[in-house]
Amino acid sequence: MCKTTVGVPLAPFHGPLPAVAAMITDHRRIDTLTGVRVCAARRSCMIVGMSLTNGEISGVAADMDEGRARERDRRYVWHPWSPVGGADQDGPVLVSGQGYRVRDAAGREYLDAMASAMNASCGHAHPALIAAAERQMSLLPHFDLSVGTHLPVGRAAERIGALLPQGLDRTLFVNSGSEATEAAVRIAHNYWTNKGEPRNRIVTFAAGYHGTTYVAQHLSGLPTNAVYGGEPFPVTRVRPSLPPRELRTPEALPVLVEEFERAVLDGTPPAAVFVEALLNVGGGVILPDGFLRALRDLCDRTGALLIVDEVFCGFGRTGRMFGFEHDGVAPDLVTMSKGLSGGYVPFAALTTTEAVYSSFAADPLIGGLRYGHTTGGHAVACAVACAVLDVIEERKLVEASAVLGEQLLAGLRPLLDHPEVSDVRGLGLVATVECARPEAAADLVAGARAHGVLLRRQGTAVMAIPPLVIDESGVAELVRVTGQALAAL
């Protein structure tokens, strides 16, 4: 291992150190990006445990004490989706990652079967993504897209448009899936107003999840997403009569389609039908083949826009570039995030048709969309997104997701013999072990973590969502440890 003068470890270089690496060794004060440039240029090394502040490399060895880190965290950090108090906030204190593995402050290594926040599509510490960010930072971090443009935003929009069905080629960039949802609802409402035929009702799944802004939470019927105050617009939430383990069967298709038809036809004409391609937070629920095709037909008959939320599924997660491709449909609007930037920078997008876009010429105030964010379409994020798409294509990660996903599902299916397991299902690199009780699900996740695998829990559903760069040995380890943790219940 090579080290800086303050003891920050660097992964080994292969071959002679470049001059800039020697500078790191000899000088305390450096350009904050020098270390990243070294690794990005070499593609064979990665700096870990480095903290850079005001141009200095600070020794982080003293900061690696796990107890001290937890104490500081409990004192100052407000964790989302977590009980106030912090007494039970004993999750790992992570300091570094490589590929599909992460390491905590105590030196423990984990297989990251959560893909971080379900967004580490290309894995951790990918040199091409770091290089893309550094290169764009050195040129132009960002510029306000309401008064000008920059090169990466056009490139990113063009790349996304080339991946989507023909006609979906107008993209708005935001910072998160929640913001993409907010924008999609606003665009759907305004589209009908622009046409002189106002509509504002949205039809969706009660167990759907589209983010945590006020509008996004209002769409959902999940108890944790309940909002307080007046209803900003009407939402019809469909609660399937069949349990999750039956929804993916051919027999479920006519039942689910009929339930959505009733929701769409019973009431004022909806502005849009807004659904996920796979219900993620709602329990890793797989929908029956042909469902999105039926929704497309229903929307065509009623004029409603079809909005498909690909925030979770998009960019290879389900074994296709987009989840809706399994049904061969073209939505009117698509929301995207997570895998688009690989978790390296906050980034999200909404793509729609020229018909929807051009309708905004009728806006009475500015003749365009009155919506946007300070860092929407951030130049660095756009550059990273283009690099992510390069990695996905070059490494054929979509195809790998389909193949390795089948291996993962085949390995987990025998868990159905356990009395605490009610279903095992999967699509691409999304595998769900549904437990009979929430307590069993929590114990399964805890047991897997104790053996070096981080799984995600949504109620009674335990989900394995590894980075798309996982390999066969990683899948085998994931299956083995999950089985061991279940057997120990």
| Digit-coded pLDDT (tens) for 279-308 | 999 999 999 999 999 999 999 999 999 999
Cβ-contact 325, 361 below 8 angstroms: no
Cβ-contact 363, 370 below 8 angstroms? yes
* For range 235-239, the mean pLDDT: 98
- Strands 431-435 and 421-426, by their bridges, are antiparallel
pLDDT digits (tens, 9 = 90+) for 3-29: 333 333 333 333 333 333 333 333 333
pLDDT in the model for residue 201: 98
Burial-class residue 311 by CB neighbours within 10 Å (0-12, 13-18, 19+): buried
Overall average pLDDT of the 195-206 stretch: 98
CA–CA separation, 128 and 383 (whole Å)? 11
User: How far is 423 from 109, CA to CA, in rounded Å?
Assistant: 29
Average pLDDT over residues 427-456: 98
- DSSP annotation of 463: E
Q: Which of 26-35, 71-80, 166-175 is the least confident region?
A: 26-35
90: pLDDT strictly greater than 90: no
Q: Evaluate whether 462 touches 451 at the Cβ level (below 8 Å).
A: no
| pLDDT of res. 436 | 97
How far is it, in rounded angstroms, from Cα 218 to Cα 255?
Answer: 25
Tell me the C-alpha distance between 470 and 124, whole Å: 11
Domains 131-394 and 397-487 share a fold: no
Tokens representing 214 are: 């006020």
Average pLDDT of the chain to the nearest whole number? 89
pLDDT given for residue 32 in this prediction: 35
Residues whose CB is less than 8 angstroms from the CB of residue 81 and which lie 6 or more positions away in sequence, other chains included? 224
- Quickly tell me which residue has 């997403």 as its tokens: 225
Q: How far apart are CA 213 and CA 228, in angstroms?
A: 12
> Looking at per-residue confidence, does 400 or 21 come out higher?
400
Domain positions in the chain are: 2-97, 131-394, 397-487
Q: Which two tokens stand for residue 180?
A: 């993409």
Whether 46 shows a pLDDT value over 50: the answer reads no
Residue 344's SS3 state is coil
Whether residue 332 has pLDDT greater than 70: yes
d(CA 151, CA 432): 40
How many CB atoms are closer than 10 A to CB 246? 14
Domain spanning 131-394 has what CATH number? Answer: 3.40.640.10
129-183 confidence digits (pLDDT tens): 999 999 999 999 999 999 999 999 999 999 999 999 999 999 999 999 999 999 9
Question: Homologous superfamily of 397-487 in CATH?
Answer: Aspartate Aminotransferase, domain 1 (3.90.1150.10)
Residue 363, Cβ neighbours under 10 Å: how many?
14
Residue 63 binned pLDDT confidence (cut-offs 50, 70, 90): low
- What is the model's pTM? 0.88
Using alpha carbons only, how large is the chain's radius of gyration in Å?
A: 23
Checking if the pLDDT of 57 tops 50, the result is: no
Strand partners, 195: none
% of the chain at pLDDT higher than 70: 86
- CA terminus-to-terminus distance, the chain: 41
